[in-house]
Structure 1
């Protein structure tokens, strides 16, 4: 379970020094989306600090940089890819999957480029692909074609479920902003591997977020009973309550699957007049 980030001004961990915020987050959730790598490849030493703040079972789903996926569209980006793979290597077993988020213009005619790119990737990492072209959700032939390409590479298809978000008009500034930026795609619930990944976008109203994820509670519980090991990321437009919501989702799934391990107990950040003790 996790969120789209590990620090937010509304979260208690934001009061900590920047180098300790991930450690606090890892006391609440055991997975995180690595979205910042889309905009810039971090220094290898920076990634090493991420590893040092998390346990070996913590899951990072790290996004490939924009120059590879959006600017070069998976072709001719060998150097950018080499630098990125070297940078994230210190995460070791925490590298749950490297995430290719493709632009909405990347459609069925581009699947050959995706297949060629996946064949060139080293087998030392797992891969997950998010597509945003409607044909991959509405045309059964294109769905099958993409599934075959991903299955051949052992890669997962990452759904970004925005159905509940777009169910009714926005009611806050954050929702209005997301309304213009987030993709409107049909919901996809099929897993291709034993480690599916789900991204779910709710609303800034927590009650509506919880009501909207009922489908995923059922699906994730079913995957667990099948022996799969899913990772779920809970988003809201402002993400102010995302860690608490992620933990609540986990609790609802655990009510269905009691053998699911509990999440850690969140650590309370120390006050300014107290020594910092996180573990």
Structure 2
């Protein structure tokens, strides 16, 4: 029984001197982030396949129980739409091989235009993937949430492949108008996704978007505290990623979420204590 928590990235300028020492070489930032959280979203791989040596450095900076949810490149999911992508897919799989079991799942985020009529394409793609990895799919077309038949169709395909459905919960964020510049920017970019709390596998993965106000973020995740505690009692090992529009407090919020779940499930092991960070000075 284990709960992994993390953020959308492992370094952010506003974290310097708070969660990460400053100055700190780029190749050391993941190591210090891993003192706060035990998982991270691999969003950078969406834009380009990393060098294998770069991925190997990620393993050197993290403990064996740290987990990455690594996003497939957009060349595969958005440009190729899962068809005719054997070459970039193999290059990606080769690049991330050093992660080994640290790769909790390979994340197949599909564009909003990927509709129920495209599910057979996803089914063919999943059948061709190596069984050495777990897979998790994020869809954004409204029909998968509004139409029960479309949802069942997708669930059947994912179930056959033992793949998970990643919900991106933005309901708390869109409950009321934005109040900060970061929220106003996110208001135009983030998808308005319905709430989905059903897990398909023993390794559910959730992405949650709160607000820049901590109290509202915490209030909005209470149903996830209940759901996550329930999953743990069932013997599942979930992963929760905490987002806010500015992500300024995301590492601390991720730890707070873990603490709230642990209060419900006392057998859950605590996160390790982060290395103290010296405060920034003027000189």
TM-score in same-fold range (> 0.5):
yes
Aligned length: 273
TM-score by length of 2: 0.95
Q: How far apart, in 1, do the equivalents of 2:48 and 2:181 lie?
A: 27
Corresponding position of 1:27: 35
Corresponding position of 1:13: 20
Aligned to 1:10, what secondary structure does the other structure show? helix
Q: How far apart, in 1, do the equivalents of 2:193 and 2:26 lie?
A: 35
Q: 1:51-200 counterparts in 2 under 5 A?
A: 51-200=59-208
Displacement of 1:271 in angstroms is 7.9
Task: For residues 134-183 of structure 1, give each alpha carbon's deviation from its aligned partner in whole angstroms, at most 9, with x where no partner exists.
Answer: 00001000000000000000000000000000000011111111111111
Quick check: 1:118–1:153 contact (8 Å CA) kept in 2? yes
Quick check: 2:67–2:103 contact (8 Å CA) kept in 1? yes
Corresponding position of 2:56: 48
Q: Which has the higher contact order (CA 8 A, sep 6+)?
A: 2
Q: How far apart, in 2, do the equivalents of 1:114 and 1:182 lie?
A: 24
Q: How far apart, in 2, do the equivalents of 1:95 and 1:45 lie?
A: 16
Q: How far apart, in 2, do the equivalents of 1:185 and 1:114 lie?
A: 20
Runs of 4+ with >2 A deviation: 268-273
> Tell me, which stretches of 5 or more residues in structure 1 are unaligned?
274-279
Give me the CA root mean square deviation: 1.3
Quick check: 1:7–1:14 contact (8 Å CA) kept in 2? no
Q: How far apart, in 2, do the equivalents of 1:40 and 1:269 lie?
A: 32
Quick check: 1:8–1:14 contact (8 Å CA) kept in 2? no
Task: For residues 30-49 of structure 1, give each alpha carbon's deviation from its aligned partner in whole angstroms, at most 9, with x where no partner exists.
Answer: 00000000001100000000
Matched, 1:241 2:245: no
